[in-house]
Amino acid sequence: MSFSYNVKSELSHHFGNARHCNIAELAAVLNMCGHIAYNREKICVKIQTENPVAARKYFTLLKKTFNIDSEVLIRRNSQLKKNRVYMLFINSDEQARKVLQACGILIAENGREILNRRIDELVVNSVCCKRAYIRGAFLASGSISDPEKMYHLEFACLDRLYSEGLRDLINSFGLDAKIVQRKEHFVVYLKEGEQIVDLLNIMEAHKALMDLENIRILKDMRNNVNRKVNCETANLSKTVNA
C-alpha cells in the first residue's frame, strides 16, 4: 500500500470525542467530495469516493452523529475498470437538510435557502474542530507522496475561494501552505518535510508521523555521510594534485 493510503487508513479509524468535531469533519467531506442535488424542492446528498476505508468512515460518521443509515452503492469505475467507486446517499429530504444545516452548507439568507460551499466559521470555531476539518479534507481529497522519494502533501479543490479558505485554515496553525492551479483544480500544498510532519500531528495521524520522522532521520544521516565522503574525497584529490 502507498504511504498516502496508510495515512488515510489511520485517519479513518480516528473519531472525535465531541459531536461538533464529527460535524466539522463531515462538513469538510461534503465540501470536498459531496454532491448536492435538488429534486422537486427536495434535497439529495451523494458522497463519492474510491477509497473503501474512507467510505466506511463516512457511513460511521453519519450514523454516530445524526443516526442516519445512508444507502451505499458500489460500482466499477468506467475509466479505470479495476477501481471501485463507493457512493453514499442521503435520500431523505429531512435528513439531508439536517446534515447540511449542521455543517453550515445549507443556510438561510434574505428569507431563502442557499448552498454555502465555503468553510463556515461557526463549524470551525474551536481548535479541535479545525483539526477535525483538516482531517476530513485530507481523507476526502488529500494525498501525500512517498517520503522516501520526496516531501509533498496536497489537497485538490475545485474552487479557488474554497482553496483559499482551506489554506488559511491550515496556516492558522503556523504553517505555510500555498496554492497552485493544476488544470481545473486549485491545489493547496506543503513541500517541506517538517511542515508535513506538523500537519500530520494536527490531523492526529501519529503513526504516520513517526514513520515519516524515521524516514527523515535516515535520509538526513545518509546525506550527512555523503557530504563528508565527498568533502574528504575532494581534500584527498587536492593533496594528491599538490
What does the pLDDT profile of the chain (242 residues) look like in tens digits? 789 999 999 999 888 778 999 999 999 999 999 999 876 678 999 999 989 999 999 999 999 999 998 888 888 766 655 678 999 999 899 999 999 999 999 988 877 888 888 999 999 999 999 999 999 999 999 999 988 888 999 999 999 999 999 999 999 999 999 999 998 899 999 998 899 999 999 999 999 999 988 887 887 776 666 666 677 676 666 777 76
Gap between the Cα atoms of 139 and 33, Å rounded? 10
| SS3 at position 137 | helix
User: How many Cα atoms are found within 13 Å in the side-chain-facing hemisphere of 24?
Assistant: 26
The residues that bridge with 76 in the sheet, in sequence order, are: 84
Gap between the Cα atoms of 85 and 78, Å rounded? 9
Q: What is the pTM of this model?
A: 0.87
**β-strand pairing of 112-115 with 153-157:** unpaired
Closest among 138, 107, 124 to 21, alpha carbons compared: 124
Alpha helices in the chain (DSSP H): 3-12, 19-33, 52-66, 93-102, 127-141, 160-171, 193-202, 206-241
Collect all residues with Cβ–Cβ distance below 8 Å to 185 and sequence separation of at least 6.
156, 157, 158
pLDDT for residue 235: 67
Which H or E run includes 109? strand 106-109
pLDDT for residue 75: 84
**CB-based contact 10:205 (threshold 8 Å):** yes
- Please name the residue that has the C-alpha cell 442521503: 90
Gap between the Cα atoms of 175 and 2, Å rounded? 25
Gap between the Cα atoms of 53 and 163, Å rounded? 24
**CB-based contact 220:197 (threshold 8 Å):** no
Residue 126 has φ and ψ, to the nearest 5°, of -110, 165
Neighbours of 231 (CB within 10 A): 10
pLDDT for residue 104: 93
| SS3 at position 62 | helix
